[in-house]
Chain A
């Protein structure tokens, strides 16, 4: 059974940093593409970042230069390092498995990040 579980969210001041983690199981993580999608309170979905099976990384313009996606294949873990956080980064952050030509087929339950003074 495929499982994804995010952690690391919380309250952080503007300009601060936070690292989200996503532990995965039930599939071959090392060859899988993974991504992060966020949802601000009461708003729609926004793609944030993807790391492809090759290791190539992609980012939304809104987070480029501030967020870094990475993975630890030995631990089947996905990460999102978030720096220079802004109020508009406040959202529920989902990690999800990405299948090329298919989409995000498995999702975690989300980790809430609140950026506020």
Chain B
């Protein structure tokens, strides 16, 4: 099974900061990776799919990049509503697996 490793597990940032979150796959997953945002007490929300495609309705300050085993989620200018936990998910094959999450705090 493919393992997904996210880093860092948490980070502190300020409004307006550029934030990057990394996700590494244990084997080549091509571009089959998505990113989800989860706020406390809420269901996750899909932000990015296929590494770099922005889900409908998601602000353009969110972007994704990478390929094969190394992927990055970037928030270009952090907004107050972006403080949340972010997860990557690979869908290259079954079993699907999420990264451990990155909590973005003030």
Contacting pair A104 B94 (CB below 8 A): no
- A79 in the interface, Cβ–Cβ < 8 Å? no
- How many interface residues does chain A have, given as a range? 20 to 34
Q: A44-B87, A44-B101, A107-B43 in contact; A101/B94 too (CB < 8 A)?
A: no
CB contacts under 8 Å to A, within B28-50, are: 32, 34, 36, 38, 43-46, 49-50
**B87 — which chain A residues lie within 8 A by C-beta?**
44-45
- A60, A103, A109: the one contacting B89 at CB < 8 Å is A103
Known: A44-B87, A45-B44. A102 touches B95 (CB 8 A): no
A101 touches B96 (CB 8 A): no
Q: Are B97 and A47 in contact (CB under 8 A)?
A: yes
* A-B interface contact total, Cβ < 8 Å: 58
Which residues of B are found within 8 Å of A37, using beta-carbon distances?
44
Chain B residues within 8 Å of A103, by CB: 34, 36, 46, 49, 89, 91
CB-CB under 8 A from A58, the residues of chain B are 94-95
Interface residue A29 (Cβ < 8 Å from any Cβ of B): no
Which chain A residues numbered 33 to 63 have a C-beta less than 8 Å away from chain B? 37, 44-47, 50, 58-61
With both chains docked as a complex, state the minimum distance between the C-beta of A84 and any C-beta of chain B, in angstroms.
19
Q: Please measure, in the bound complex, the distance between the C-alpha atom of A101 and the C-alpha atom of B101, giving whole angstroms.
A: 21
Q: Are the CB atoms of A102 and B50 closer together than 8 Å?
A: yes
Residue among B43, B44, B55, B97 facing the most chain A CB atoms (10 A cut-off):
B43
Asked if A108 CB lies within 8 Å of chain B CBs, one says: yes
Known contacts A102-B50, A107-B44, A109-B43, A47 near B55 by CB under 8 Å: no
- 18 additional A-B pairs beyond A44-B101, A61-B1, A107-B43, beta carbons within 8 Å, are A37-B44, A44-B100, A45-B87, A45-B89, A46-B98, A47-B89, A47-B95, A47-B98, A58-B94, A101-B32, A101-B49, A101-B91, A102-B53, A102-B55, A103-B46, A105-B55, A107-B44, A108-B43
Residues of chain A touching chain B, judged by Cβ–Cβ distance below 8 Å, are 37, 44-47, 50, 58-61, 94, 96, 101-105, 107-110
